[in-house]
Amino acid sequence: MPHLFNFNRAHKPIFDAKLLLFFRSFYKNFTFFTKKRKRFNNFARHFNVMAIEGEEFRVDVDQVLKDKLGKKSKFVPKFLVSWLKRIIHQDWMNVHLCGEGKGQVGVEWLDGCLNYLNCTLNVRTNIDGVIQEGLDALPGNEGGRYFTIVSNHPLGGQDGIALGSIICHKYDSQMVYLVNDILMSFKGLAPLCVPINKTGHNSRNFPKMVEAAFQSPKNVVMFPAGLCSRKGEDGVIKDIEWKKTFIAKSVQYQRDVIPVHFSGHNSDRFYNIARWCKRLHIKFNIAMLYLADEMYKNQGKTFTVTFGKPIPWQTFDKSKNPSEWAQWVKERVYQLDTGNASA
């Protein structure tokens, strides 16, 4: 008899549907224990990190549940806790975080993660349709010229780590991510990040955080979709609509925009879960819980990272509104992979 939560073996799609229905029921009825559903949202946001701070940074599901829920953590079903540990690969992550990754910071931490993931990167530029290996064709930061670097977000793990590593080596670590504040738990990553959170008690600081990033003498790296790519009804895997923030701020601070295309995709299961969440009107991003599992599955793979020609900030005039310009840049990003990236 197959195990419902054994994700190391093939399983039927109905298993994921049952799991999603359980989450929907659990979400609706959790107010019985917490009185306020907001408590569950806060607790759920930390599922994909499950980290505790201290002298030794490690992933610990049990401890996070206790920290976030207190005595109410005992109401979380044990099978769900076991599933969480398995789906985020707690032991596998801790091998690196508590081993070679311990004490690493910045680009060293990023490179260490890539080494642990055994990734191979083919880095190239596509300038006006001309493909060239490496990044020699890209301009530097001479004269205090800094860029907004935007990319599609196909993976949710390797893409963020790899892009940061590539840009750090190109621009001598003069870069900063705009990231969800929960990623600040990773101490090795934190020095390269500006934490942003558009929900909860930190939402009022969101504009200030964005301003701080664009005012800094560093290249700003963003994934404008905000979420990993999704599979459409036509079967095409692509980012959702890009947010307009990078357009508005690039114009305000006169930063040219470098488009980047990152190859790769997640498993069909990941996209099926995202689709079921949408159909069942589940607001919490359950697919996010599977990102560590997707990263685990993508070990040892080769990814192609293509940088395009910087787009002058003056391009973003009033012939289109910022949202329309954001989608225009998004389409140019996907053209980079086809070789059709001329202005």
Model confidence band, residue 180 (pLDDT cutoffs 50, 70, 90): confident
CATH number of 105-264+301-336: 3.40.1130.10
pLDDT digits (tens, 9 = 90+) for 3-54: 332 323 333 343 455 555 555 555 554 444 444 445 444 544 444 444 444 4
What is the structure's pLDDT at 242? 97
Between 58 and 154, whose confidence is greater? 154
CATH 3.40.1130.10-classified regions of the chain: 105-264+301-336
CA-to-CA distance for 4 and 77, rounded, in angstroms? 15
What is the structure's pLDDT at 281? 86
pLDDT digits (tens, 9 = 90+) for 92-147: 999 998 898 888 999 999 999 999 999 999 999 999 999 999 999 999 999 899 99
Which range among 76-85, 130-139, 254-263 shows the weakest confidence by mean pLDDT? 76-85
What is the structure's pLDDT at 21? 53
Model-level pTM? 0.81
Residue matched to tokens 């990754």 = 101
Between 292 and 19, whose confidence is greater? 292
Tell me if 91 sits within 8 A of 303, measured CB to CB: no
Strands 175-180, 230-231: pairing is: unpaired
- The SS3 assignment for 307 reads strand
Which range among 17-26, 278-287, 294-303 shows the weakest confidence by mean pLDDT? 17-26
CA-to-CA distance for 212 and 329, rounded, in angstroms? 23
Tell me if 89 sits within 8 A of 291, measured CB to CB: no
What is the structure's pLDDT at 23? 53
